Structure 1
Amino acid sequence: MSSSIDNVRLKAFLSEPRFTTYLEHARGDFNRILSLYLWNIDASSAVLATTSLVEVVLRNTVDEALKRWNPRQAYKMVPGRKAAYSEDWILDPCPAVKNWFYSEDNPQQSRVLQNSRVAMKDMYGRDVKLNPTHDDYVAAFTFGTWLRFIPKPSASNPTKFPLNFWEQELCQSFLGQHRNSIFYWGQHLHYARNRASHLEPLLDVKQLQRLIQKSSQPHKTPDPAPEENTRRYKLNGRLNPE
C-alpha cells in the first residue's frame, strides 16, 4: 500500500507526462522510477559541470578577443571622437559593437545591457551595482549572448559585425576551426546546457555521452579542463542508469 501511495505522490510531483516517460523507460517497474529520476539529476549535474566550464572558457575567450579588436577600429570619421577606442568594448564600444548592442528598433536602449542589469539585482530585485564595470557585465551576460558573437553560417558580408570580428581576431582563438563548426558546436552546447538545467530526461545513455563529449571537444576550446572533467565523470561511472 505504501508503495502505491508513494507512486501517487511521485506522479503528482513529477507531473503525469514526465512520470510516464520514466515509467516507460523502467518498462512498467514502478519501483525503478524514483531511482531513475535521481540518476537523471546526477546525470544532469555531469552535463552542467562540463558545459559550465566550457561556457566560462568561451566567455573569456570572446572577451579577450574583443579587448584586442575594439581599439583597432577606426575612430577619426566618428563625429566628436578624438581618441582611439579603449579595450573596454562594453562601456566604450566602437560603432560596429555599439550597433550590435543598440538595435534600430530601440536606438536609445540596449536590450543586452538591460537584461544584464536584471542579473545584477539581489534576491529582492534591488540594484546592487549602480555603476556596473566591464567585468560586471561580462559576468552577467547570458550564454546565448556570448554565442551571438560567433557569426551564423548565413553571414556573408566581411565588413559587418560579427563576421569582421571573427575573421580579423576571434578565429585565431579557435585553432583554425571553421566558423560554421564553432557555431554549431556552440548551439549544441547551449542545447545540452538547457536540457540539463531544466532537468529534462537524459535517459538515453549514448546520447548523454555524446552531449558531454561534443560539448567538451578539446579542439573547439583553448582550455583542456572540460575534457578532463568529462573523463572524471566517466571514471566515476555516473553515466550508467542501470
Structure 2
Amino acid sequence: MMAQPPPERFLPQRLSPGRLAPYQAAAGSQRAAVDLYRWNIAVSAAVYEGLHLLEVVLRNAVHDQLVIWHQSTGNSGSWMDDRAGILEDRARKDIAIARARTRKPSPTEGHAVAELTFGFWRYLLARRYQDNLWRLAVRHAFPHLQPQTRSVVEKPLISLHKLRNRIAHLEPVHRRDLLADRQDILTVLGYICPDTRDWYQTGCRIPDTVKERPHTR
C-alpha cells in the first residue's frame, strides 16, 4: 500500500491558502494549522448540536405564546398576518419568504415556523418590541426568567446568533470562549424549560471537545 502524503501537502490547495491562513497564524505552522482546522470542524459540530436544540425550542416557545396572544385578540387568521401592524417590514418579509419556501398552497403556521430563521426569532426580542410583543406575549415564553427582563434574554441570543452564523458559514470559532457559549445555551434553555436544559446538558459534547483543542502559541 502506498504511503499517504501528509495533509499539509494537499490540504492548503484544497481548502485554499486564504482559508487556512487564520489557523496557521494561530497555530504557528502548517501542520499545526491542519490539526487546528480539523478540531474547529469537530467543535463546531458539537456546538451546533446545542444551537440546533435552542433554535427549535426557542421558536416553538415564542410561537406558542404569539398564538395564545393572537387568539385573545379575537382576530381571525394567524399572528403572522400581523393585523395589528406591530411587526417591522423586515419581519413581514421574512414571514412571506418562509411561507413561500414551504411550497404549499396553504401553508400552516407550523410549516412557516419551521422555515423562519434563528435571526427572525432573535429579533422579536429586540428593544423595538418591548412595549408590544414582549409585554403582551413573548415574555411568557420564558417562564423561568425572573424578573422578566427582555434584555437579559436578548443579550445571549445576540451572541449565539452570531456564533450560529459563523458555524453555518464554515468560519473559524477557535478563538471564541466556547464554554461561555455553552453556558449561554444552557441559560436560555433554562429560562424556557429547565427539564430540556438538563436533558441537553447530560449529553453535551462541548466540554470534552474543547479539552481536545490542539496546542497553539
Question: What is the TM-score when the length of structure 2 is the normalising length?
Answer: 0.80
Q: Tell me, yes or no, if the aligned pair for 2:190 and 2:196 is still in contact at 8 Å.
A: no
What is the percent sequence identity of the aligned residues? 26
For 1:1-242, list aligned pairs within 5 A. Answer: 3=5, 6-28=7-29, 30-73=30-73, 84-86=74-76, 88-91=78-81, 93-97=82-86, 100=87, 103=89, 110-120=92-102, 128-152=103-127, 155=128, 161=129, 163-174=131-142, 175-176=145-146, 177-204=148-175, 207-217=177-187, 218-234=189-205, 237-239=208-210, 240-242=212-214
For the pair shown, the structure with the greater C-alpha radius of gyration is: 1
Q: Which amino acid aligns with 1:137?
A: A
CA distance in 2, matches of 1:46, 1:87: 39
Question: What is the TM-score when the length of structure 1 is the normalising length?
Answer: 0.73
Higher helix share: 2
Name stretches of at least 5 consecutive residues in structure 1 with no aligned partner: 74-83, 121-127, 156-160
Residues 223, 194 of structure 1: CA spacing in aligned structure 2 closer, same or farther, 3 A cutoff? farther
Count of residue pairs the alignment pairs up: 206
Q: Tell me, yes or no, if the aligned pair for 1:151 and 1:183 is still in contact at 8 Å.
A: yes
Residues 119, 226 of structure 1: CA spacing in aligned structure 2 closer, same or farther, 3 A cutoff? farther
CA-CA distance at 1:163 after TM superposition = 2.6
What's 1:158 paired with?
A: none
CA distance in 1, matches of 2:14, 2:160: 29
Q: Which amino acid aligns with 1:89?
A: W
Higher RCO (C-alpha 8 Å, min separation 6):
2
CA-CA distance at 1:141 after TM superposition = 1.0
Q: Tell me, yes or no, if the aligned pair for 1:69 and 1:165 is still in contact at 8 Å.
A: no
Q: What value does the CA root-mean-square deviation take over the aligned residues?
A: 2.8
Residues 190, 227 of structure 1: CA spacing in aligned structure 2 closer, same or farther, 3 A cutoff? farther
CA-CA distance at 1:118 after TM superposition = 4.8
CA distance in 2, matches of 1:96, 1:194: 29
1:86-132 deviations in whole A, cap 9, x for unaligned? 473125x43134xx26x3x9xxxx42233214533xxxxxxx31221
